[in-house]
Structure formats: structure tokens, C-alpha cells
Structure 1
């Protein structure tokens, strides 16, 4: 049992954040698709990212550790292990399903019972339209993916449960037969994560065009030398923003450089909207102040900030409204139920109209 002692006193905290999970996933996959050398510094070593890393190695990527860097030297393709366990990592699953088509023999992907209940139908429908071959009787995991040349071309989506489907297709689009065009007729949840993928690919010299309703990825198997350092994780930064405003403490986050590739940089603007002060320097961000008002915020694009914002809202003098959060019910857990249960345990009140 953990005992938390309430205290509100002035002070200062300076701490280094862990590397971004989202950027680590994407850089690992891009390294596995690059026929040149990819050097990744400051990658996150966490359960989900290590599942992605092991999955890519199973699909044939060769990589080695050297001086706290990961050096990817051979792309995927020659399957080393045909049975890949994905745990409860929905991001790993949605990213690896299309990539498994590029192996030289069938690959079985599976995970926990919770992962098998998560929505994958739209991804398998897209894979089939691209020329993929697979066995997924329930249009979810477990599934067996067979070798296939994905054709590229135009796909249209009316509704998607997760932006990770788009990101997975964008990354896989590099190895498709022709350019991949994705048309989005309705809003995609967590769209800034798609923008993160596009900006990262552009930064690496890849041809990607992005608009709110259309994405185009040029088919061109890269053979480049890439060296990237993973940014600090701004989802993790949100917890320390909450510490600063709830506890009345000055929090300094070295290494946080704004603007960022990550959509969760919105936490700093939301902190200011609640009454905090955010000072942005060239090499750090500092947060001070307290919570003076509630907020109304559209959280459709920032699902990972919802737990933090919910806790911060408990300390506001009037209610806060967090909108477009229904898709959080279908993450690694039902996040809405978990947030509400814990807030009620603490004596707070919530309403959910999802």
C-alpha cells in the first residue's frame, strides 16, 4: 500500500522526462524500413516500445546497441521468428500488422485477451484493399499475415477508432508498389499523432503531404543515413504540470523544446488556461502558479492528457468539461471507467454522457 501525504508548500523541482513513447515507436519502424543506417539516441525502453522492437527484430530487422544508441543496419524482410506476441500493446499491433506483409513467410500476431477485443476491423479491411493476404476470422487478433506486395493507391475512411491505423499505413506506405493516398471523410481521433508521423517523416527527407482530409505518402524504399534523438515525452510532462499547479511548486523540465513534434504540447496552453504560468526557454520549460478556473477543452486529439486534466479539474473552483473522450473506453483499459472510479474514490464527482 502507498501512503500519500497531502502537502502544499512552495519549492522547486527540476527533473528529466523519459523519452517519447510515440516517437520511439515511429523511429524504430522507420529504422526497420531504411536500407541505410539509422541511429536512434535516447530511445524509450518501456513495455510497449520493447514489444515493437522485438517484433521488428522477429520480422528481420538487424540492430545493435552502441554507447547508449541503437544502430539499425538491416531492414526487415527475412523473418527470424514467425510467432510474435504483442502483449496488450495496441500501438505495436496496429503498426506491425501491415509491416508483416513484407516478410518472406507467414507470421502469426497475437497478444492478451484484452488486445484481442480491441478494434482492428478497419485495419484488416484496408490491408485487404491493398492486396494483403491474411487469416483473421474475427477481423481482429490473433491473425496470420502472409507475404504480399502491398499495392498502394487510394483508400477512403469514413470512421476510424484510432489514429494508429493511419500511422501504421503511412509507415508501411514507404514500401508499397505505388504512392499511398488516404482520404479521411470524418475526423480521426488523436489526429495530432498522425501529424507527428508526417512531420517526422518529412524531417527525415521522406515525401509526405498532409491535410485534414488527405494524406499522401510517396512509395520509395529509403536508403539513407538517419540520426535522430528522441524528444522528452510530453504526455509524461503533463503529470509534472499538474504537480506544479496543484502543489504551488515551480517545476523545471530541461530538454523540453517548443514547438514539438508531439501534440501533447497542448498541456502547457491548457495549464495557462487554468491559471498557471508557463515560461518557455530555448532549452527548458518552467511551470508555476495554481489552478484558478475550470476549463472546457476538446480532448479528441489529446487522449493521453485526459487523466491528468481530470485530476487537475478537481482543484478548480468550478466544473471543467472534457469533450470528445468516448474513444478512451477502447484503450489498453477502459480509461473513462478507471478515471471516474478513482475520482469517486477520492470524493470527487463526474458525469459522462458518452
Structure 2
């Protein structure tokens, strides 16, 4: 398939009967790689995500001296070695690479140069660069890419204040390497509220790696200095990647199962399942995985999507197919919500955006080409809409490769699995 041509989003032939095994979480994969690089002993990642961002993360760590083997799709191995330059790190468009690896580079000996695609040069980096300088790092930079970290094998650490309202990754980038700093790090966020779910994941994984972390004070995170030890990580499926598949059951009816979903997880599964239940689905976590059964009809809802920013577009797409209006409050940046509202409006939906709240009035939608703006979340939303709107196309389905490289095939395979259909059509997809 040529992913540079508009992709026709498949419509359903009947209620779904699909069971999928999705790749692991990008967020967990990235954090496990960084923690392995600043730990002693080997680290393994079982079920990691192989995608553009995680490959760039592995390559960046290799450039600084780590041994990272990704030959086996389902089991990656990292052996830390003394971090050293000269090295060049290509961040591409990966926010995790851009914001996690500079703090690691501060522990290297020698110069580590960072650059990426032109669009990455507009990412806000001044808060992180300023914070690292406060902690003792030497960085040649203006306010963003390109820049060079001149490491001398250690960083003093200590307290630092940062405005991380642009991205919680700015805080995570400091915390993940903090145990290797002489005095650890105490990060205080000042400014508009910062998204917490990914910070909670950072704290959870730091503790699992042996770090002492205190997050009891609002907007303050303290990591004690100490030697972390490499460990085996079982990478969970990603909730944001799973969301469009789960939502498909509501739109098309039938059942969709995401295999291997853990009963206990740091991801906001319960909140998503509550929203899917309000929309008319019957979601459960079973020994088989995360299961959603849908009646094929959707109810309008009023919901606060705090903690679910990455799946706002998918939930808005489902609401646009409901039988009554919806009101969704989302922490997504205003420009993202504006693009989402414009995309749904172009298909015929009635959308009003007021102060972070999407007011959705369902109307008959028309098949047209949905502009994704290179945003995988809009592509996921378009795929969900295509289940019920014949003739809908995505201008760029390739953008889904950022977190789920095989999305077009997985989606088409799921759609071809329907109740009463041939047994061989049921979606059985191996992880990785």
C-alpha cells in the first residue's frame, strides 16, 4: 500500500469479532531505555514498541556509548557503558528523545550534539535547557535545537524550578536521569497545570528501577541520588493506541479484545472505560485482555477527559456518531482542539469549541478526505469515523507509524473480522 496516497478508511460489513495483540507502549519503551542507560547491569524490554520514536531513542543511546540490541522485535537488550562523546543525536520529531536524552548527555564525558527535523526546532526547549544549566550542565544553545551538551561525567543536581506547562516531558526528562546526579534533583513546576498521567508513569517506573521518589507535594518531584539497577521490563500495550480499536466496537457493534492487557497498570484505563461505558459500550478487563462490547449505537455524553488528552480525538469521533449531543472537556492544547473541531466540521459535524470544551451536535457526515496534519490522533479518529461513513479517506495514514507502525493493516484486519464471518477473517495479530 502506498501510504502517500489518500487512504480509504474501511467501513464495516457487520458487528466486529476481533482479538488483537498490539505492540507495547511508546511511553514505557522510551522510559525503560533511558532508565537502562543510567543504571548498572543489563536491562531487557519484553514486548517493546518498534517505531520511529523508539528507534531514534535507541540510536541516541548507542551514539553515547550504550549497547542496545533491537534485533529481536519482542526482546530488546540494553547494556550500559560509560557515556561519552563526541556524539550526535538525531531527535527526528520525537519529543521523548528531544526532552529525555539531554539530561542523560550531561552524565557523559565529552560533547553530545542534538538536532532533528526542522519542525522539531520549534519545540519549546528553553525551560529544560535553563533547568539543566541550573543543575550544573554546560549547554551551548539558544532556546532550542540545534544545541550541544558538554558533559564532564557528572552533574551536581539539587533544586530547580521549571515551567513545564508546554509538556510534562520537560519534567520527566529531568527525573529519569536524576538518580545519577550528585545530589539528585528536586523539580518544582510553576505555571499553568501540567498533565499528570505521564508523570505518574515516570514516577512509577523510577520506583520500579530502585529510585527514591517523593511526589507527595503538589507540583514537586524529588529524586534521591543513588545507583539504579537494570531490570526486566514487560512493556504494556499503549492505551492511546488501543483506544480506536476499542471505540470501533461502539460504532460497529460486536466485540473487540486487546490481548495482554494487565489488570494493574499506571495508565488511565479505568477513566477511559468509564467514558466508553457512558457512550454505550460494555468494557471489562478479563484474563483474556481488555474487552469492549458495543451495541452499534452511541449515546451522547458530558465528560471530563482530564488524563485522556491523547484519546480526545477518538472519543470526539465516537460522539459525532451519537444519537444526541455531547460536551467533552479536554486538556488538549487549544491548537490541537481547533484542528480536531475543523476536521470534524469539514465532514459535516456540528462542532463548537469554547474554552477547552467541545460541544458536539451529531449530524449526517459525508465521505471526504480528512486532513490529519501529520497527527496520528486525528488519523485514529478518521479511521473510527470511516467505519460508519462510506467514502471517508485520510490524507496521511503514515503518520500513525509514530506509535503504531502497522496501524493500516491492523485496522483493516480488524474491520474484516465480523460476527458470522469466516473464521479465518478474525484478527489474530502477533505482537511486534
TM-score, normalised to structure 2's length? 0.75
Task: List gaps (5 residues or longer) in structure 2.
Answer: 1-5, 356-432
Alignment-derived partner of residue 275 in structure 1 = 280
Cα root mean square deviation, aligned: 2.2
CA shift in 2, pair 1:346/1:181, >3 Å:
same
Contact 1:303-1:328 at 8 Å conserved across structures: no
Corresponding residue to 1:220 among 208, 217, 226: 226
Q: In 1, distance between residues paired with 2:197 and 2:269? A: 8
Q: In 1, distance between residues paired with 2:14 and 2:263? A: 29
Displaced runs of 4 or more, over 6 A: none
What are the residue-to-residue correspondences of 1:30-69 with 2, within 5 Å? 30-65=35-70, 68-69=74-75
Alignment-derived partner of residue 27 in structure 2 = 22
What are the residue-to-residue correspondences of 1:73-222 with 2, within 5 Å? 73-75=79-81, 77-79=83-85, 82-137=87-142, 139-148=143-152, 149-158=154-163, 160-186=165-191, 188-211=193-216, 212-222=218-228
CA shift in 2, pair 1:65/1:97, >3 Å:
closer
Does residue 298 (structure 1) correspond to residue 304 (structure 2)? The answer is yes
What are the residue-to-residue correspondences of 1:329-344 with 2, within 5 Å? 329=335, 335-344=336-345
Equivalent residue of 1:175, what SS?
coil
Q: Between Structure 1 and Structure 2, how many residues are aligned? A: 346
> 1 or 2 for the larger relative contact order (CA 8 Å, sep ≥6)?
2
CA shift in 2, pair 1:264/1:342, >3 Å:
farther
Q: In 2, distance between residues paired with 1:70 and 1:6? A: 37
Alignment-derived partner of residue 239 in structure 2 = 234
How many angstroms does 1:180 deviate by?
1.3
Q: In 2, distance between residues paired with 1:209 and 1:57? A: 31
Contact 1:235-1:264 at 8 Å conserved across structures: no
Alignment-derived partner of residue 317 in structure 2 = 311
Q: In 1, distance between residues paired with 2:330 and 2:132? A: 28
CA shift in 2, pair 1:193/1:82, >3 Å:
same
Alignment-derived partner of residue 348 in structure 2 = 347
Equivalent residue of 2:50, what SS?
coil
CA shift in 2, pair 1:184/1:2, >3 Å:
closer
How many angstroms does 1:225 deviate by?
4.3
Contact 1:64-1:71 at 8 Å conserved across structures: yes
How many angstroms does 1:237 deviate by?
1.0
